[in-house]
Amino acid sequence: MSEAVSAPVPRILVIDDDTEVRYSLNRVLSSQRYEVQEAPSGEEGVAAVKKQAPDVVLLDNRMTGMSGLETLQHIRAANPKQLVIFMTAYGTAQTAIEAMKFGAFDYVVKPFDPPKLLALVESALRTQADNKSAAGYKPVINTEEHKEGIVGASPAMQQVFKIIGQFAASDASVMITGESGTGKELVARSLHRHSHRASKPYVAVNCAAIPENLIESELFGHERGSFTGATAQRLGKFEQCDGGTIFLDEIGDMTPTTQTKILRVLQEGDIQRVGGVDTIKVNVRVVAATNKDLEALVREKKFREDLYYRLNVVRVKLPPLRERTEDVVQIVDFFVQNLAKAKKVKARKVAPEAMALLTAYPWPGNVRELENVVYRSAVAATGDAILPKDLPDEVRDPKGAASVVSSGESLESLYDKLAKALRAQHPGEELAKLQEAMESRLPESEAKPAAKKRPKK
């Protein structure tokens, strides 16, 4: 059998009981490179879909006999991948929501603007082509082999797996470093799961999330009456996870007093409850994590050097995702398969163009951001594949907003640059005028809070 050499002419089926609408749509569409078929009722439309398998269907909502929404359901039942553009003269939210819920590709409100309608048909055809290119998608991950939940083929991640394997069995303290969302907590859990402590508790504490006056009591517990509100004795996290592993996240945010107490647990293996006099023996392995430059904090005397060395016995470095882009394909596949398995989404494939965009994006929020984007895109996907159109704007247009943060530049440093540039360009201008000009470029809803609140130091 010989293959067709020229691209086939796309076939559009128009289902509408109004002869005039069919006629005008036929004219608009035929003026392009489309072959147009017509059906004057929902029933005939469904039969035409089954028989002729058109590329795109334009379907009217209000028809005598079978309604547009009913027809849509029959069409999607006959061919779940059929692309249908829903047409309605009554653009109520209800109809739009129902049409999208029943799997319409999009909807247009009559009377049509021909260029807009043609753009929509083109976008449906592009989607169809993207769906076809996704047909050859082969999963790269066997989720059964990744029960651990940590995925990555990059040399950096292989090194991480090696360290977990080497040191999980020991009681050595571990320091995990990496930007937010790189998987530090995942590594901590894995260390615990592979240790002899696995049957004992694993307790995670986010030191930055607990107010300064409560952190000590949270970690070491307190005696009744030791401070206002301490109405009963309370065991702290260290006592709660005796025999197990404690994960101290954001360790760089700890107060000096807490640092001293942690050092004591590590050196002596005992704690004292707040307001207590007894020393209590605890057997806890400490795994700490930070996204701060702890060495710099030590130099600035904000973090105890002795504690730093105690914690830093084993070091696990998780590089930002933008420095291990070869992991993106595996991680995306892992998330997509898990979502599909949990029956949370229909999508189980990723079109090559979408994967290319996902790989090119710098992921300032690292794997956590990637996970959220995959979930959101898989939910947005109308077929069985995530297509470029399902991705958020910043991923589709990496030259847009995302590139500003791709260098990992902080908001504070961006403000600095902006302020300097504004001053240099407008030396005599009043400050209030410069502020006003800046605020007017922010969306309405953000302008006011931004004017009041300055970035945190």
Ligand X SMILES: Nc1ncnc2c1ncn2[C@@H]1O[C@H](COP(=O)(O)OP(=O)(O)OP(=O)(O)O)[C@@H](O)[C@H]1O
Closest approach, Cβ 249 to ligand X, in A, equals: 5
362 binds ligand X, rule: CB under 6 A: no
- Residue with nearest beta carbon to ligand X: 183
For 432, counting Cβ atoms within 10 Å of its Cβ (0-12 exposed, 13-18 middle, 19+ buried), the class is: exposed
Applying CB under 6 A, among 200, 368, 376, 396 the residue interacting with ligand X is: 368
CA-based nearest residue to 188, from 289, 106, 45: 289
CB contact set of 262 (below 8 Å; sequence gap of 6+):
219, 248, 254, 286, 307
151 binds ligand X, rule: CB under 6 A: yes
Closest approach, Cβ 178 to ligand X, in A, equals: 6
Closest approach, Cβ 346 to ligand X, in A, equals: 22
Closer Cβ to ligand X, 183 or 383, answer by number = 183
Applying CB under 6 A, among 307, 367, 385, 386 the residue interacting with ligand X is: 367
Contact track, ligand X, 18-37, x by CB under 6 A:
--------------------
Which segment (85-93, 183-191, 258-266, 352-360) binds ligand X by CB under 6 A? Answer: 183-191
Q: Are 294 and 308 contacting, i.e. CB atoms less than 8 angstroms apart?
A: yes
CB contact set of 253 (below 8 Å; sequence gap of 6+):
207, 208, 292
CA-based nearest residue to 171, from 47, 313, 274, 41: 313
Applying CB under 6 A, among 16, 55, 130, 249 the residue interacting with ligand X is: 249
Closest approach, Cβ 337 to ligand X, in A, equals: 12
Applying CB under 6 A, among 61, 88, 177, 182 the residue interacting with ligand X is: 182
Q: Please state, in angstroms and rounded to a whole number, the distance separating the CA atoms of residues 113 and 86.
A: 15
CA-based nearest residue to 377, from 364, 396, 390: 390
For the chain, first and last CA: distance in Å? Answer: 70
DSSP string, 114-140: HHHHHHHHHHHHHHHHHHHHHTT----
Applying CB under 6 A, among 10, 45, 68, 181 the residue interacting with ligand X is: 181
Closest approach, Cβ 377 to ligand X, in A, equals: 16
Closer Cβ to ligand X, 172 or 186, answer by number = 186
Binders in 320-359 for ligand X, by CB under 6 A: 331, 334
130 binds ligand X, rule: CB under 6 A: no
Q: Are 246 and 206 contacting, i.e. CB atoms less than 8 angstroms apart?
A: no
Which segment (176-184, 210-218, 223-231, 270-278) binds ligand X by CB under 6 A? Answer: 176-184
Closer Cβ to ligand X, 185 or 394, answer by number = 185
State CA 201 to chain mean position distance: 29
Closer Cβ to ligand X, 38 or 371, answer by number = 371
CB contact set of 119 (below 8 Å; sequence gap of 6+):
none
CA-based nearest residue to 91, from 110, 68, 64: 110
Contacts to ligand X by CB under 6 A = 149-152, 178, 180-186, 249, 291, 331, 334, 367-368, 371
